[in-house]
Amino acid sequence: MTAPQILVVTGEASGDAHAAELVAALQTRRPDLRFFGMGGSRLAARGVDLLYGAHEVSVMGITEVLPKIPRILQVMKGLAQAAAERRPVCAILVDIPDFNLRLAAKLKALGIPVAYYISPMIWAWRRGRVKTIRKLVDRMLCILPFEEAFYRESGVNARYVGSPVVEQVPAPASATTFRQRLGLSPDAPTLALLPGSRMSEVRRLLPDMVSAAQQLATERPGLQIVVPVAPTIPREEIVSRFEGSGLSPTFVEGRAPEVVGASDAAIVASGTAVLEAGLMQRPLVVVYRVSLLTYWVGRLMLKVAHVALVNLLAGRRLVPELLQGDMKPERIAAEVRRVWVPGTPRDEMIQGLEEVRGRLGGPGAAVRAAETVLELLPPAVKV
């Protein structure tokens, strides 16, 4: 008898990590299952048959996505065709809602149950999508504590499983401990730069991060700058943006939370990395920039007061958000200076980050998500 298969689809680095942990939890409970779909290196390491790489659809913003639309549609068609041929017992769609909700419509037409992991932030913008989700998603697996009630009130079968980020980051420790783990100078002042996991983010954000780091380096002799390189970004794309800067950064393959843990302060691209950085309980400054068209469309649709996840969870402006025109090297450097040394601003930020960590609860998100997915599957065949 053919082994039951599950389609898994994700399109960027953090989603790949979350999906890989969910797959691992399912493999433990149902060794008979086989997996295929789209993802990155971590899903590949779990033995998932990847038909497409996550980089195929990893793009942010309206003007950024336009040149890639033909390829994105080709990938979506390919995944739908594979689902029609392999007839998976379930599909697990992770994040990337513009892609995955369209794919979900094709899967539902095939009669394939859909579990959605890492909820789209429709409570922040495009709330009308909840009607689409109600039709297409059999289980919505929420990772933020307030999402379950929002979805259930709209008739969506949702369940809060906890945040996988909590167990993906290392336990809190001193900066010296993390520096030793990464082979850094234990006593040197340290700045972390996290420019994102998409090429569009690296191109738009990293140059100003580098300029801010140059300003800070003139004030702090021996400053060591550390940059984690996401698996979705070619290393040379990061390295090239430091050429001619006079800086000699240390590049680390992945391990972004540890890089933040090793730092005195961090400059972080808005996204999942902000929550990871916040859980490391180090001062951080959040930055982001998209095309002007994307920004104005987003501004019209945004329904929340903050962009950074830690601010949303805290219910206040806990960490600075420098977006669009506010994202200038001198502004970034000024915010870093404000929280670099011990004092009220730094202490209040770290205390707030500790509160955010407490609100997310304990580990076990992937296990709880796996148990929910198993509800959609037919029982294992006993041999």
pTM above 0.85, yes or no: no
**Residue 146 half-sphere exposure, CB side, CA atoms within 13 Å?**
11
Question: What stretch(es) of the chain map to CATH 3.40.50.2000?
Answer: 5-162+364-375, 169-360
Q: Where are the beta strands (DSSP E) in 168-223?
A: 190-194
Pick the closest to residue 313 from 364, 264, 274 (CA basis): 274
Report the sign of the C-alpha dihedral through residues 314, 197, 302, 346, in that order: positive
Tell me the CA end-to-end span of the chain in Å, nearest whole number. Answer: 10
Task: Collect all residues with Cβ–Cβ distance below 8 Å to 38 and sequence separation of at least 6.
Answer: 8, 9, 10, 11, 50, 51, 52, 53, 54, 56, 57, 75, 79
pLDDT of residue 187: 92
User: How far apart are the C-alpha atoms of 153 and 195, rounded to whole Å?
Assistant: 36
What's the confidence (pLDDT) of residue 60?
53
Helix (H) or strand (E) holding 52: strand 49-53
Residue 259 neighbours by CB distance under 10 Å: 29
Task: Tell me what pLDDT residue 120 has.
Answer: 81
Residue 128's pLDDT is: 72
Distance between CA atoms of residues 332 and 344, nearest Å = 19
For the chain of 383 residues, list the mean pLDDT of each consecutive stretch of 10: 91 89 96 96 96 80 67 94 97 92 96 93 70 94 88 92 88 92 95 91 94 96 94 90 94 94 95 88 91 55 68 89 91 96 93 89 90 90 59
5-162+364-375: CATH number: 3.40.50.2000
pLDDT on residue 123: 62
pLDDT given at position 273: 86
Residue 32 CB neighbour total at 10 angstroms: 11
The owner of tokens 């859909």 is: 114
CATH among 3.90.650.10, 3.40.50.1400, 3.40.50.1100, 3.40.50.2000 for 169-360: 3.40.50.2000
